[in-house]
Structure 1
Amino acid sequence: MIMIEICIVLGITIIGLIYLDIAKKINLIHKNIITLFLIIVPHLTLITYFFIIYATHNKISLAFQRIAIFEVIAFAVYLYVKINLFPYSKKLTDKYRLKVLLGGRRITLYGLFTLIIQTIICIYIYSDLIKRLYIPNNILILDIVITMLFTIILITNGMLRLLLTSRRLNIIKRLLVAWMAFIPIVNIFVILYACNLARDEYEHECYKVNIEKTRVDSKICKTKYPFVLIHGVGFRDFKYINYWGRIPKELIRQGATIYYGNQEAFGTVEYNAHDIKNKILSIIKETDCEKVNIIAHSKGGLDARYMISKLDMGKYVASITMISSPHRGVKFVNIACHLPEFIYRGIAKAFDKYFTLLGDRSPDFYTATRQFSTHHSKKFNEEIKDVEGIYYQSYTSVMKNLFSDYILTIPYVFVKLTEGDNDGLVSVDSAKWGEFRGILKNKCSRGISHGDIIDLRRDDYKHFDVIEKYVEIVSELKNKGY
């Protein structure tokens, strides 16, 4: 009779706990409860084995044994399923992607904790149990297999969530993390790396949400004049692949009016200046505005300066903001200019053919690239003077080391050796023009590269928000009356 009462009480207790948990009256996935759960439950096979021995010794009927075991296993399965599906009991965010990401982080950490603690148990406690007690081999093997499956499912579920939802993991990083997550010892560091990325991404999203709450209907980027964004060399303004990443969308959302230069990818400064001039004149005609503001990156700054100075466009431009523009040239290009002429022209011809297919009407790789030399830049600056009444300002960024941006590793080293700190292409001194507003950087070892500053990879960097920086730039121009 006592065993019947125990089974009934145990069953009612388990059902009651599950009901209260579903009704959110209690929290069965509290960290303290889950910590004990992850230590004990993987060894239900051993626990069940010892219970059966005890029950048989005390002559408890097989039916009651099975009922008690079923109740405990059912409760364990409920908790395990809930951990894998709903690891958080509190509502942390309204965004579904972030919910999955955060859940993946917690599940992965649970799996990592289980891996470490169960390894310790197997090495120290298991061996002692085997010496002291006779445990059949099939029970030991089954217990080990279940423990391994218990751990692997947690880690796999968590990592899949992270890999599928994290925006900070690009394709290459996803492949590396997925491959290395199952290499012993190495996987611990890989898992921690992925979990840290997820935490940083969540904190960054919360930061963005808080900023948005303070900007409701503020239109802080609604300037007097529209903006023309002018790209650098080797790119075009495609309809569906934006050179400026997520920046234009956010500026528009904050009230800015945005247009693009639509100049050639490998047009010369002179040729591109005419393209930009025609674009600005069409914008003025379309919007009936008096002037435009220009934000130009890299060679786009040279194209815009030439247009303003040489094509009588000063009266149509209110301000020009230049980001990492090589106003004093790049010594790395000086070295390239000393290549044998037939090699340089051969390379130029191949580029011209390719960019003709992409839409350039008159690509001139040979001339356009040589215009970055320090000799040409010196002559350019002597001839192209700033126009009075236009606000000229400039920014640049720096890479911290040659590993900051693998695409720019070689030019970074050359520019570093010859000119000092640079963003992978343009030195700090070369980027200064007009009112120099400073070097954009973060506190991390990566730094901000020539491509990062235009959100080329659509990545969020720790301690630097490139999108927010452009909002700040445009907001300041608004406050200046532009």
Structure 2
Amino acid sequence: MTLKDRLRAPLTPRALLPSLGAAGSIAAGVLLMTLQTTSAQAAGQYYNCANPTGCKLVSSKYFTSSHTDTKYPVVMAHGLGGWTKLFGVLDYFYGIPETLMAGGSEVYSTKTSAVNNSEVRGEQLLQQIKTITAISGKPKVNLFGHSMGGIDIRYVAGVAPNYVASVTAVSSPEQGSKMADWVIKQVVEGSANSGYAEGEFNVGSQIALGFFKFVGGFMDVGSGISFKEIQEQDGWEAVTALSTASSAKFNAKFPAAMPSSYCGQPTNTEVNGIKYYSFSGIGQVTNGLDPSDYLLALTGTTFDGESNDGLVSACSSRLGYVIRDDYKMNHLDSSNQVLGLTAWGQPSPKTLYRDQVNRLKKANL
């Protein structure tokens, strides 16, 4: 181990032994054996993998429970316009990595292009997963993807199944989003031509797509990526990838654990040795104090009365073993945004993730 690796390594009782002397080593050894014989022996870590060249340890917690101490690390993938830990303060999965870490999980938060299609983002995610397996020493990972991230992780499972133990899609538009269809309709019909080349759009549409690119770059920088390393952003690719037409093409290439019809239930929950799961919610205004709820109430009108969370319908969210698709939570609630302002009197999103990771633990994953 290099000096740099030693400095970055978590401080554990075992790591302390060489520096304590004989008496100290005996005492530390007794402490270590005590820890190994208690139920509170798991050590949870939380890493931010926004840096293209590696992952940074954010925090580590010892003397915790082992409720979410899985065999393989938990890897979290953000959705469209997402980030990891924004300016070192705000988690995309607000409070969820810390909750899992407290139960013994080794959690890695990943960063792909905030604005692009799932094949581009999926390739970026795969490279980070290879880094994560090297850091953790574990050959596989448990993938969690929120929204578009739930499609990105399916791409990774499809092209590199040897790296994946499980896939959990959270409020993910696996069969596309009618909101994306509506946006495409507005952009195309508002342009001089009906073509799909970005150069054919009118000025207003080009400004809107340019704004998508700006948001993507901002989220990269906010996640700790330098200006020189900002990843490729493409607003039009991102929106079209989430349409029902493009999703059908993607699903033809990566059909694992998908239902055979739009509102059907998946028949396969395990493919190529990978277990697939999903959960999602319905409703838009779930907490009157959250201003984003009212925007989701507006976007939810594009679904023509179909049950949805403001951006994704319940039918489109189904993949593998459907835990539930009717939790009282909107699209942002399902990653515990904004600042944990979710529905009163309902299960906390942090609890849902914790229960799912415990489910993976029981499955020896």
- TM-score, length basis structure 2: 0.67
**Structure 1: distance between partners of 2:95 and 2:131:** 25
Query: What is the identity, as a one-letter code, of the residue corresponding to 1:348?
Result: L
Query: Do residues 430 (structure 1) and 311 (structure 2) align?
Result: no
Query: What is the identity, as a one-letter code, of the residue corresponding to 1:434?
Result: G
Residue pair 1:267, 1:365 contacting (<8 A) in 2 also: yes
Residue pair 1:403, 1:409 contacting (<8 A) in 2 also: no
Instruction: Write the mapping of 1:13-162 to structure 2, written as runs, cut at 5 A.
Output: none
Query: What is the identity, as a one-letter code, of the residue corresponding to 1:414?
Result: T
1:351 deviation in Å? 2.2
Secondary structure of 1:266's partner? coil
In structure 1, which of residues 274, 287, 292 is the aligned counterpart of residue 136 of structure 2? 287
Query: What is the identity, as a one-letter code, of the residue corresponding to 1:433?
Result: L
Q: Percent identity?
A: 27
Query: Do residues 380 (structure 1) and 247 (structure 2) align?
Result: no
Alignment: residue pair count: 258
1:367 deviation in Å? 0.9
Residue pair 1:395, 1:438 contacting (<8 A) in 2 also: yes
In structure 2, which of residues 316, 323, 333 is the aligned counterpart of residue 452 of structure 1? 333
Residue pair 2:161, 2:274 contacting (<8 A) in 1 also: yes
Instruction: Note the alpha carbon deviations across 1:299-351, whole angstroms, 9 max, x for none.
Output: 00111111221xx3101100010001001111222122122232333311122
Residue pair 2:317, 2:325 contacting (<8 A) in 1 also: no
Secondary structure of 1:391's partner? strand
Query: What is the identity, as a one-letter code, of the residue corresponding to 1:410?
Result: L
Residue pair 1:402, 1:413 contacting (<8 A) in 2 also: no
In structure 1, which of residues 310, 315, 327 is the aligned counterpart of residue 162 of structure 2? 315
Secondary structure of 1:426's partner? coil
**Structure 2: distance between partners of 1:426 and 1:358:** 22
Instruction: Write the mapping of 1:147-226 to structure 2, written as runs, cut at 5 A.
Output: 217-226=64-73
Instruction: Note the alpha carbon deviations across 1:149-198, whole angstroms, 9 max, x for none.
Output: xxxxxxxxxxxxxxxxxxxxxxxxxxxxxxxxxxxxxxxxxxxxxxxxxx
Which residue does the alignment assign to 1:471?
354
| 5+ residue gaps, structure 1 | 1-215, 442-446
Instruction: Note the alpha carbon deviations across 1:83-128, whole angstroms, 9 max, x for none.
Output: xxxxxxxxxxxxxxxxxxxxxxxxxxxxxxxxxxxxxxxxxxxxxx
1:260 deviation in Å? 1.4
Query: What is the identity, as a one-letter code, of the residue corresponding to 2:241?
Result: Q
Secondary structure of 1:337's partner? helix
Secondary structure of 1:264's partner? coil
In structure 2, which of residues 158, 172, 185 is the aligned counterpart of residue 325 of structure 1? 172
Distance change in 2, residues 1:370/1:456 (3 Å) = same
Which residue does the alignment assign to 1:412?
300
Instruction: Note the alpha carbon deviations across 1:451-479, whole angstroms, 9 max, x for none.
Output: 01111122353132221111111111100
**Structure 2: distance between partners of 1:462 and 1:357:** 35
Residue pair 2:79, 2:145 contacting (<8 A) in 1 also: yes
Query: Do residues 278 (structure 1) and 127 (structure 2) align?
Result: yes
1:240 deviation in Å? 2.3
Which residue does the alignment assign to 1:253?
102
Distance change in 2, residues 1:467/1:400 (3 Å) = same
**Structure 2: distance between partners of 1:402 and 1:466:** 13
**Structure 2: distance between partners of 1:218 and 1:332:** 41
Measured on the aligned residues, the alpha-carbon RMSD in Å equals 1.9
**Structure 1: distance between partners of 2:285 and 2:296:** 10
Instruction: Note the alpha carbon deviations across 1:242-293, whole angstroms, 9 max, x for none.
Output: 0000111011011010001211110221211111111110011111101000
Which residue does the alignment assign to 1:390?
274
Query: Do residues 367 (structure 1) and 249 (structure 2) align?
Result: no
**Structure 2: distance between partners of 1:242 and 1:403:** 20
**Structure 2: distance between partners of 1:429 and 1:358:** 30
Higher Cα Rg, which structure: 1
Which residue does the alignment assign to 1:60?
none
Query: What is the identity, as a one-letter code, of the residue corresponding to 1:399?
Result: G
In structure 1, which of residues 386, 391, 399 is the aligned counterpart of residue 283 of structure 2? 399
In structure 2, which of residues 307, 312, 315 is the aligned counterpart of residue 421 of structure 1? 307
- TM-score, length basis structure 1: 0.51
Residue pair 2:309, 2:331 contacting (<8 A) in 1 also: yes
Residue pair 1:220, 1:475 contacting (<8 A) in 2 also: yes
| 5+ residue gaps, structure 2 | 1-62, 191-200, 221-229, 257-270
Query: What is the identity, as a one-letter code, of the residue corresponding to 1:469?
Result: L
Instruction: Note the alpha carbon deviations across 1:9-64, whole angstroms, 9 max, x for none.
Output: xxxxxxxxxxxxxxxxxxxxxxxxxxxxxxxxxxxxxxxxxxxxxxxxxxxxxxxx
Secondary structure of 2:90's partner? coil
Secondary structure of 1:393's partner? strand
Residue pair 2:284, 2:310 contacting (<8 A) in 1 also: no
**Structure 2: distance between partners of 1:434 and 1:240:** 34
Structure with bigger helix share is: 1
1:389 deviation in Å? 0.8
Residue pair 1:371, 1:377 contacting (<8 A) in 2 also: yes
Secondary structure of 2:91's partner? coil
Q: Which structure is richer in relative contact order (CA contacts within 8 A, separation 6 or more)?
A: 2
Structure with bigger strand share is: 2
Distance change in 2, residues 1:254/1:361 (3 Å) = same
Query: What is the identity, as a one-letter code, of the residue corresponding to 2:213?
Result: D
**Structure 1: distance between partners of 2:287 and 2:346:** 18
